[in-house]
Amino acid sequence: MNTQSIIYMDNAATSWPKPPGVTEAMKRCMREAAANPGRGSHEMAVRASRVLFEGRKALARLFRIQNPNDIAYALNTTQALNTALQGLLKPGDHVITTSLEHNSVRRPLEALRRKIGIEVSYVQTNAQGTVDLSKLRQEIHSRTKLIAVTHSSNLLGTITPVGDVGAIAKAHGVKLLVDAAQSAGVLDIDVGAMGIDLLAFPGHKGLMGPQGTGGLYIHPDLDLEPLMYGGTGSSSESPEQPTARPDRYEAGTQNTVGIAGLTEGVKFVLAETTERIHRRELELTRQLMEGLRGIPGVTLLGPGPETERTAIVSFLMEGFDPSEASFILDRQFGIAVRSGFHCTPLGHQSAGTTETGAVRASPGYFTAESEIVSLVEAVKEMMATLRKTN
Ligand SMILES: Cc1ncc(COP(=O)(O)O)c(C=O)c1O
């Protein structure tokens, strides 16, 4: 497959390409440090442990986390979210979340509602994905334990004012879980200043690492029940999961090679800065939205280009089913976008696209302006061809 000719606009699912250092770091780790971390005292095992610690340090710098050991690695955002939700919530607890959430928040919550009897309130956003914070505040009651919000919608690109939600949570003694799947590496995140108690993030999207990486920040005052129990290489004589972090939340051998790549991705983000990355992605998003908005029959979803948002452009093409549109974009024009229902049925309800789903194009930091032009021209051509044949 000639990847040179692909126009990749599916960065919201997994970012691609990666900074060159990522692949190199993974190769180097495989050659020099791919022993079992935390399990042995021989030279290569120590090197493997160091790989994990270097990654934690870089992540702690990025999210302004004081103690790197408050970060537990995870396979992806979903595992991190499950560790947070299943580890924190007890029967009778109340959780407030929004209609914007990904199934990775909603499904664990619904499973907990069914299995242990938690209460869940969904605050409806408007069609642009904006959460009314006064509505969110009104839902708080004496059993409310947690507010869980996505930092940015994977359907609409809307940004949730997490710091304001954090202030509301703090004022009412409620914990805050943030799903940073679409914001880690793109928007500035300061867990202390934003009042975040739990931060779930992927390694394979904005942090530019490989798949199979991600993590969860857990505030030092929180003790979650681990999602998984097992070998940690520490306190091996005890039948209990250790209480020391990060081992408490990292049962089993970690993805050392993947984390070597993730560390390099995070270092790239730190060097470029989230401010520059976000600004660049916003420019590309605006260019794409302006281009698409001028095409008859194309409807854009989410906040307009003038609004601060992440690089997610969902749209409808009149006369095309979104999956048909993405198939044609791929096969005829070599452009990779995503289509369908983006794992957020309530989000589609809010946006009014429950029946249709949507095409989603998500440029990334490495997208070129010429690639945006190619996508706009392809959509234009598809719409013109349809008009001619009708
Ligand atoms: C907002 C949001 N939450 C959670 C997820 C799940 O992420 P992962 O695939 O890393 O588990 C995604 C994935 O696209 C997402 O966009």
pLDDT band at residue 1 using 50, 70 and 90 as cut-offs: low
Categorize the per-residue pLDDT at 388 as very low, low, confident or very high, splitting at 50, 70 and 90: confident
pLDDT at 226: 97
* Residue 387 to residue 211: CA distance in whole angstroms: 41
Give 352's pLDDT tier (boundaries 50, 70, 90).
Answer: confident
Give the mutation target among 154, 208, 255, 309 for probing the ligand 1 site: most ligand atoms within 8 A of CB: 154
Nearest-10 crossing angle of helices 20-32, 256-272: 150
Tell me which residue has its CA closest to atom 15 in ligand 1.
181
Q: What is the mean pLDDT of residues 258-265?
A: 98
Q: Is 210 helix (H, G, I), strand (E, B) or coil?
A: coil
Atom 16 in ligand 1: which residue has the minimum CA distance? 154
> Partners of 113 in the beta sheet?
none
- Where does the pLDDT of residue 273 fall: very low under 50, low under 70, confident under 90, or very high at 90 and above? very high
- Provide the 10 A C-beta neighbour count for residue 304: 12
pLDDT tens digits for 240-251?
899 999 999 999
pLDDT at residue 342 is higher than 70: no
How much distance in Å is there from the Cα of 144 to the middle of ligand 1?
Answer: 25
Quote the ligand 1 centre to 380 CA distance (angstroms): 30
In the three-class reduction of DSSP (H, G, I as helix; E, B as strand; rest coil), residue 225 is classed as: coil
Mean per-residue pLDDT for 85-111? Answer: 97
As a whole number of angstroms, the distance between CA 59 and CA 73 comes to 10
102 lines ligand 1 (CB under 6 A): yes
Pocket flag, ligand 1, residue 101 (CB < 6 Å)? no
Q: CA end-to-end span of the chain, whole Å?
A: 35
pLDDT of residue 170: 98
The verdict on the CB of residue 202 being under 6 Å from ligand 1 is yes
Is residue 246 reached through a cis peptide bond, with omega within 30 degrees of 0 on the bond before it? yes
Separation between Cα atoms, residue 208 and residue 267, nearest integer Å: 10
Determine if residue 235 is left, alpha or beta; phi over 0 gives left, psi from -120 to 50 gives alpha, anything else beta: left
Residue 206 beta carbon below 6 angstroms from any ligand 1 atom: no
Q: What percent of the chain has pLDDT over 90?
A: 88
Q: How far is CA 374 from CA 290, 369, 380, 381, in A?
A: 14, 9, 10, 10
Domain extents for the chain?
20-272, 274-389
- Work out which ligand 1 atom sits closest to the CA atom of 104: 4
Would you report the helix, strand and coil content of the chain in percent, each value rounded to 5?
40, 15, 40
In the chain, % of residues over pLDDT 70: 99
| Residue 244 to residue 248: CA distance in whole angstroms | 6
Atom of ligand 1 nearest to the CA of 153: 1
- Bridge partners of 149? 178
The rounded mean pLDDT for the chain is: 95
Ligand 1 center from residue 342 Cα (angstroms): 10
* Residue 102: pLDDT over 70: yes
Distance from the CA of 181 to the center of ligand 1, in angstroms? 5
| Helix 369-389 and helix 274-293, axial crossing angle in degrees, nearest 10 | 20
Give yes or no on whether 20-272 and 274-389 have one common fold. no
CB of 82 within 6 A of ligand 1: the answer is no
Q: What's the gap in Å between 158 CA and the centre of ligand 1?
A: 15
Task: Tell me the CATH number for domain 274-389.
Answer: 3.90.1150.10
b/e sequence 358-367, b meaning 16+ C-beta within 10 Å: bbbbbbbbeb
- DSSP letters spanning 193-209: HHT-SEEEEESSSTT--
Does residue 154 have its Cβ closer than 6 Å to ligand 1? Answer: yes
The whole-angstrom separation of Cα 124 and Cα 27 is 46
pLDDT digits (tens, 9 = 90+) for 202-239: 999 999 999 999 999 999 999 999 999 998 888 888 89
CA nearest ligand 1 atom 14, residue:
13
The answer, yes or no, to whether residue 106 has pLDDT greater than 70, is yes
pLDDT digits (tens, 9 = 90+) for 115-155: 999 999 999 999 999 999 999 999 999 999 999 999 999 99
Ligand 1 contact via 181 beta carbon (within 6 Å): yes
What pLDDT score does 213 carry? Answer: 98
305: CB partners within 8 A, 6+ apart: 285, 286, 289, 290, 293
User: Residue 304 Cα, ligand 1 centroid: separation in angstroms?
Assistant: 23
Top CATH class, 20-272: alpha beta
pLDDT in tens, 37-90: 988 889 999 999 999 999 999 999 999 999 999 999 999 999 999 999 999 999
For residue 137, the number of C-alpha atoms closer than 13 Å in the C-beta half-sphere is 11
The Cα–Cα gap between 285 and 341 comes to: 21
Rg (CA), the chain: 21
Does 340 or 308 have the greater pLDDT score?
308
